[in-house]
Chains A and B, each alone.
Chain A
Amino acid sequence: MELTRELYWNVGHSVLIPMYLLVAAAFGVLIWGLRKRLAAYRLGQPLDRTDQRGERISGVLRDIFLQARVLRVKGAGSAHGIFFFGFVLLTIGTTLVFLQADLLDPLFGVRFLTGNFYLFFSIVLDLAGLAAIVMLLGLAVRRYLLRPKDLPNVGDNALMLGLLLAILLTGFLLEGARMAATELGTDLSWWSPIGLLFAQPFAGMGETAQRSVHTGLWWFHFALVLGFFCAIPFTRLRHLLLTPTNIFFRNLGPTGKLRSLDLEDEEAESFGAAKVADLTWKDIFDGDACTYCKRCQDRCPAWNTDKPLSPMKVVNQIQEVSFDNPEANLIETVTTDVLWSCTTCRACEEICPAAIEHVSKIIDMRRNLVLMEGEFPGEEVTKAMESAEVNGNPLGMAPAARADWAEGLEVADLAAGETAEVLYFVGCYAAFDKRNQKIARAFVQLCSAAGVKVGILGKEEKCCGEPMRKLGNEYLYQMLAAENIELIQSTGVQKIVSACPHCFNTLAKDYVDLGLELPVEHANSFLAELLQSGKLKLKSENLDCTYHDSCYLGRHNELYSAPRQLLAAAGASIREMEKSRSESFCCSAGGGRILAEENLGERMNQTRAKMAAETGAATLVSSCPFCMSMFEDGIKGADLDEQLKPLDLLEILAERIEA
């Protein structure tokens, strides 16, 4: 017996014409449906996302065909991945059938679905189908029986699961009916084990009955497939097309760099986003590409401390407004409490399987609130803004006292004409806050020990503008940044280091748009290099600690290993928190929230302090003055001060300088 099967068995080649006509019609519906969606995307502002195509395409291949992003989450992510691979194999199988039956055989008489290859083809498709069904059932159990908290359930979900399951099951039934009539009792049937199982109910029927059931099933299966294509633009199945597209159009960085506004634009009537038309087309497309998987929401520190912000919902609301009511006030829809709750920690963007950019949308809406309405989350923030304007720091401290922390240390005042190898950009918290001044002193001591001469801008340094910018005050940010840049350029210094991740990220990425193009490093990587080159020598002394990855070091800049290397060199052993590295949980100070009162929900800094305490470590190490301020309060607030002490990495290193 030949190892193959008759393609178009029973239904015959006469179905070809109606079949292709119907498929063409279904694709027509699909394209028509998608085109209708284009109108909504076109509401947005222009944005070029077609550069670096190679990188874009390889990202799509990695994240779609290897499911790289999806597989980062175990459970549902794995199930989706396995289902996807199964479905892809089935699609490949169907394509092979099409190739042989409709092209190669009729035109050239070529048949390749024979022999061992056919056996392989047969068993692979059978198992792929089985895997896909099992995964779908698993996902259905999760969604409808286990019911994960806050997972949005709409009719689309049932339709998607049901339709896919029905297509797979009818496929197997179809195979079963065919096998009952043609393969039962042959060795060949063992190469289609699932089909064999499905053939059993049909086994007792006569061939005529088998054939008529098969015909019915074939058309039913085909109708379901047509329905699947037609449903794509109108249901959440659209993610099949939009998610890969969105990954192609993704933001290629630098991560966490915000779009600069042209504030001198005389034509501009409005700044920031109050309506969807103020956003970019990509922001609207993001909304349509969302798969409602709630991974962002699960990781959002605001959502997890009972604040009203869910990054997913913000993205969904943008989508809803774009399609249903594009003239509506977006900020009213999203609400200001939601917008002000964001710490810009990027946990949402980091995990999103569709590469959605949540943070910039929130910032755009904040920009509108601040620049057009003069509105802030609270009076304390307005006051901080005014202080930054007048005093150059949001704390309202005397500018003349900015360099007091450096008294007695070997630092050059670059603003006063002295020279140094590197500019240490101190930042407001390390400059003025007594607790954080220890970090600044530690950094200078470490540099001195490594023979690096450090300079500062002294009392002329201004706030880098980061909290203002993240809170939407682009005007004040640009003012402060311009002053800093002019001053830095006048010193002629060639390299900048900051021990504050917020200053670092801002100087390194955001200042570029305003004309600063010097290399900027964070103290951690700077010191790690000095350690490696042997210039910095550390004593190894035991320390039992846990390490908090600051959002602006970790997720925004992927500096995960430098601090750990330094800690290891210092003799510290780290007990990692469950949420560490790219999964780190924000201390609450990001996004300008350091200036704002936390009036809603639980206190984020206490939540994080508790996570640190759970490791059993006695020291909570961080690398950020903002984090330090938050942990000093959070540890006390959570009543953990007996067991947990916050220290900055630099303080630990400075204690271990080898004389």
Chain B
Amino acid sequence: MNILVCIKQVPDMESRFKVDAAGTWFEESDLAWRINEYDEFAIEQAVQLKEQLGDADLTVLSIGPARLKEALKKALAMGCDRAVHVVDAAAHEKDPFQIASSIAAFAKDKSFDVIFTGMQSQDRGSGQVAVLVGELLSIPSLTTAVEFALEGDTISVRRELEGGLKAVVKAKVPALVSCQLGLNTPRYPTLPNIMKAKRKELLEVPVADLLTEEARLETVSLAYPEKKGSALVLEGEVGDLVEKVIGILKEKTAVL
């Protein structure tokens, strides 16, 4: 069986973001980079599937600049067989459609049986790439998986809906599965696997070889919302405080 897992490298969300000079993205200095959390679940599920099948080939793919070698190495250490680095120094300027198109262009003649992705990325969270790849390849997509099983040629997934509800959905391979948090517990790579990963194949593909589509979205600006860090301090008599708080909650949150 042929498996593909698509991952993204994102800044750690605790990072201190600075909007760049163009005002459309953040500066990369002072950021700590990691594998998109959702994608770690995807890698783990792909590795578990490979272990379940025994005879399977697992490719991990990512699009971005040189720094994402670290992310690919971790995926290899977790158990992927080879890595594909679609080299694009300006990946952050690509929209979800372009990213999906590049992945689909890579995957179209590789006959992948199962494709795993994260449900969304932590930095942009558009949640589009997974389904777009499935649609571009004309295979069914099962999104938001919190449980995964493959029996014969049928994938069975529990989708997470709202309010604790789950839906059981199935599709035949080839198919794409997007992974939600809690699908599994991503493994911590062992030292021998970290060492082995250094010798695994890491293929570089220039993005120009794959991408022919124009962007459909344009980022106008990126900015901080209202400044956090200075709390509005309310003091006084309890009754008044309660009134004020209810007013604020109504105004500032969607809760009341």
Contact = CB atoms under 8 A, between A and B. Distances in A.
Interface in A470-520: 475
A372 B191 contact: yes
B190 interface: yes
Interface stretch (B99-107, B172-180, B181-189): B181-189
Interface stretch (B29-37, B132-140, B147-155, B209-217): B29-37
A385 B16 contact: no
B32 A398 contact: yes
B85 to A, nearest CB: 19
A374 B187 CA distance: 7
B194 interface: yes
29 contacts: A370-B188, A371-B190, A371-B191, A371-B192, A372-B190, A372-B192, A374-B188, A374-B190, A375-B188, A379-B185, A385-B188, A386-B34, A386-B188, A387-B12, A390-B12, A390-B32, A391-B12, A391-B14, A396-B12, A397-B14, A398-B12, A398-B15, A398-B16, A398-B32, A399-B32, A401-B16, A459-B30, A475-B191, A475-B194
B34 A396 contact: no
Interface of B: 12, 14-16, 30, 32-34, 185, 187-192, 194-195
Contacts of B30: 398-400, 459
Interface string A264-290: 001001010000000000000000000
A390 B33 CA distance: 6
A390 B189 contact: no
Contacts of A386: 34, 188
A613 to B, nearest CB: 33
A379 B192 CA distance: 21
Contacts of B34: 386, 390
A271 B189 CA distance: 14
B189 A374 contact: yes
Contacts of B188: 370, 374-376, 382, 385-386
A263 B195 CA distance: 9
A392 interface: yes
Interface in A331-387: 370-376, 379, 382, 385-387
Interface in A409-441: none
Contacts of A391: 12, 14, 32
Contacts of B15: 398-400
B234 to A, nearest CB: 22
Contacts, number: 52
Contacts of A399: 15, 30, 32
Interface string A246-262: 00000000000000000
Contacts of A373: 190
Given A386-B34, A390-B33, A398 B190 contact: no
Nearest to A381: B188
Nearest to A391: B32
B191 A398 contact: no
- Top 8 nearest A-B pairs (CB, nearest first) are A374-B188, A400-B30, A400-B16, A371-B191, A390-B34, A398-B16, A391-B32, A390-B32
A379 B187 CA distance: 10
Q: Which of A263, A392, A399 has the most C-beta atoms of chain B within 10 angstroms of its own C-beta?
A: A399
B191 A263 contact: yes
Contacts of A370: 188
Nearest to B34: A390
B21 to A, nearest CB: 18
Contacts of B195: 266
Nearest to B189: A374
Contacts of B187: 374
A31 B186 CA distance: 54
A266 B192 CA distance: 10
Given A379-B185, A390-B34, A459-B30, A396 B191 contact: no
Contacts of A269: 192
A405 B187 CA distance: 35
A396 B14 CA distance: 7
Given A390-B34, A392-B32, A398 B189 contact: no
A305 B246 CA distance: 46
A263 B188 CA distance: 17
A400 B32 CA distance: 9
A271 B193 CA distance: 12
A271 to B, nearest CB: 6
Nearest to B78: A374
Nearest to A266: B195
Contacts of A382: 188
Given A376-B188, A390-B12, 10 more contacts: A263-B191, A269-B192, A371-B191, A371-B192, A386-B34, A387-B12, A391-B32, A396-B12, A398-B14, A398-B30
Contacts of A266: 195
Contacts of A385: 188
A371 B193 CA distance: 9
A487 to B, nearest CB: 16
A374 B192 CA distance: 11
Nearest to A269: B192
Contacts of B191: 263, 271, 371-372, 475
Nearest to A270: B192
Contacts of A374: 187-190
